[in-house]
Amino acid sequence: MNTREIVSTATYLASTKPAFLLSELCTYLTGDVPVTELYRSLSPHLHRLGLAATEVDGDYKISRIQKPAVYLLNTDERKRIDAFFAACKIPAILERAIEEYITKKVGKSWDDPVILERLRRAVVAQKDDYWKPSQRRRLQYTKGYRVLSYLAYHFPVYFMQTGHLLAMLARDGLLKKTMTVLDAGTGPGVVPLAIAEFYSRLDDATATVYSVERSEEHIEAFMFLREQCTHKGATASIKPPIRADITTFDPAQIPQQVDLLVFSNVLNELIDLSLEQRADLVMRFAERLSPDGSILIVEPAEEATSTQMRMLSLTLKKRGLSLHSPCSFVWGTNCTPDRCWSFVTAPSIMPTRLMETLAACNEPFRYVNTDIKYSYVVLRKDGKTKEKYRVPSGSQVLRLSQIHRHVDKRVNIIAAKMSEELGNAKTHMFRLCDGSAEKPVYAVAPSYHITIGNEGIVSAPYGSILELDNVLVRYNPKHDAYNVLVNRKTRIRQHD
């Protein structure tokens, strides 16, 4: 009896009824195979087949794993979430908990002048390190003040940023009524705590959040904030982080059916790993992803880090994951991401009391971090993409891979808007991508040329697909890039 026959018979039975006993397989198989033998052959394949086994009186009940329903936000939930974003503030309870944690760790009040001075030095050292090219960073989060300065400087922005990303996942129908989440490289629990906050605004959804982190100091901070800011019986259950190195982590330690896998500001820190090795790591974790689960990778908007993330995304696409968003491939081609610098912005947050206190010195700007800018990608195993649009064959539309042949000519293009405003109020500028361009392409629109017929270039959201009819192509030798000039005769339509 070979395994293939057992697997295909089980697949057949599962397609005919929601559940069956493993012993029923014997009716279809040649020879008398004991149930234990059947189970041994079938069990490694169950997860992939979307099946689960439960032992019943010496037999096994095999049933289809029920997909939790997609969770769509209702009007009240949307209002509550919008109100939270409009305040642009991290919850007061979290602000106070961070202050208390600093006080607890240093044994003096967080606003003691000596402590503030040490925090300032740590913030500056961490920032200097953070913006260095990745090969030159030291990035140690093990010394006490580095974690405290992370809490003071980075945590508030990343916390709100995660809220915006969760709202986006909800809008895109990627949250489920019951979710299992895994956050890899969780630090002081930014993502889990943001999930707890987000879910507290939902009526009827629950999440169980697992996380992995290697730094003991970060875990200690996470456990303190979790204790102060979450409570038993809440809609999100935040599990204590697993202490481990994600590069050697055995995913068997986490549940089989993870619905959302998050790598927030962490993959860029794995400076010893090549692109292929980072892809291996993500694929290893993806083994635990449910067939309709999502992987969210987020990185700082800084050019080198952001571009590296796009290269990783394409590598993962070539390994079989689909790029759900924000990228779209309107010609069905693979892209050339080595100069792809694309990021999102969200409204700045209000400085926390701790930031303001740190800023009460000669160089206040060094200690206030309120801008939200990030690069992200959502990947899937099931081929699902946010945009399904493909340019119909026979369209009179230029592929951006051919733009060099059309310099100084007027053309029609279809491309996604892949930046927020890069220009100014006088001359708008936005990055465009149709998935085929080898060099960056920008739409340039002087404000006096903006009309009702082309204002979509300004108002369309990040990632939306635009049809641009009648734009003039120019080459920009200084940046080795192409500009397409929008004027009054240009018509722009946002694709539905």
φ, ψ of residue 131 to 5 degrees: the values are: -90, 5
Q: According to CB under 6 A, which residues from 169 to 198 bind ligand SAM?
A: 185-187, 190-191
Q: Closer to ligand SAM at the Cβ: 243 or 404?
A: 243
Q: Are strands 19-21 and 59-64 parallel, antiparallel or unpaired?
A: antiparallel
Q: Closer to ligand SAM at the Cβ: 218 or 380?
A: 218
| Torsion sign across C-alpha atoms 358, 359, 362, 366 | positive
To ligand SAM, the closest distance from the beta carbon of 275 in angstroms equals 16
Give yes or no for residue 247 binding ligand SAM (CB under 6 A): yes
Give yes or no for residue 220 binding ligand SAM (CB under 6 A): no
Q: Could you tell me which residues come within 8 angstroms of residue 422 by beta carbon, excluding any fewer than 6 positions away?
A: 429, 430, 431, 442
To ligand SAM, the closest distance from the beta carbon of 457 in angstroms equals 32
With contacts defined by CB under 6 A, name the span among 59-67, 266-274, 321-329, 476-484 that binds ligand SAM.
266-274
To ligand SAM, the closest distance from the beta carbon of 381 in angstroms equals 22
Q: Closer to ligand SAM at the Cβ: 241 or 351?
A: 241
On the CB side of 54, CA atoms within 13 Å amount to 7
Q: Closer to ligand SAM at the Cβ: 274 or 395?
A: 274
Virtual torsion, Cα 395, 400, 401, 404, nearest 10 deg: 110
Give yes or no for residue 305 binding ligand SAM (CB under 6 A): no
To ligand SAM, the closest distance from the beta carbon of 218 in angstroms equals 4
To ligand SAM, the closest distance from the beta carbon of 273 in angstroms equals 9
Q: Are strands 258-264 and 372-380 parallel, antiparallel or unpaired?
A: unpaired
To ligand SAM, the closest distance from the beta carbon of 20 in angstroms equals 42
Retrieve residue 492's tokens: 């722009």
Residue closest to ligand SAM when measured from CB atoms: 187
Give yes or no for residue 213 binding ligand SAM (CB under 6 A): yes
Q: Closer to ligand SAM at the Cβ: 190 or 355?
A: 190
* Cα angle for residues 20, 25, 31 (degrees, 5° grid): 165
Please tell me what DSSP assigns to residue 66.
Answer: P
Give yes or no for residue 266 binding ligand SAM (CB under 6 A): yes
Give yes or no for residue 214 binding ligand SAM (CB under 6 A): yes
Question: What is the pattern of x (binds ligand SAM, CB under 6 A) and - over residues 116-145?
Answer: -------------------------x----
Separation of first and last alpha carbons in the chain: 53
Q: Closer to ligand SAM at the Cβ: 9 or 215?
A: 215
If you count them, how many residues does the chain have?
A: 496
Of 329, 453, 429, 451, the C-alpha closest to 388 is 329
Give yes or no for residue 246 binding ligand SAM (CB under 6 A): yes
Residue matched to tokens 């946002």: 494
| Torsion sign across C-alpha atoms 230, 233, 235, 241 | positive
Helix or strand run (H / E) with residue 443: strand 441-446
Give yes or no for residue 245 binding ligand SAM (CB under 6 A): yes
At residue 23, what is the residue type? Answer: S
CB 369 within 8 A of CB 153: yes
Contact positions vs ligand SAM (CB under 6 A): 141, 158, 185-187, 190-191, 212-215, 218, 245-247, 264-266, 269-270
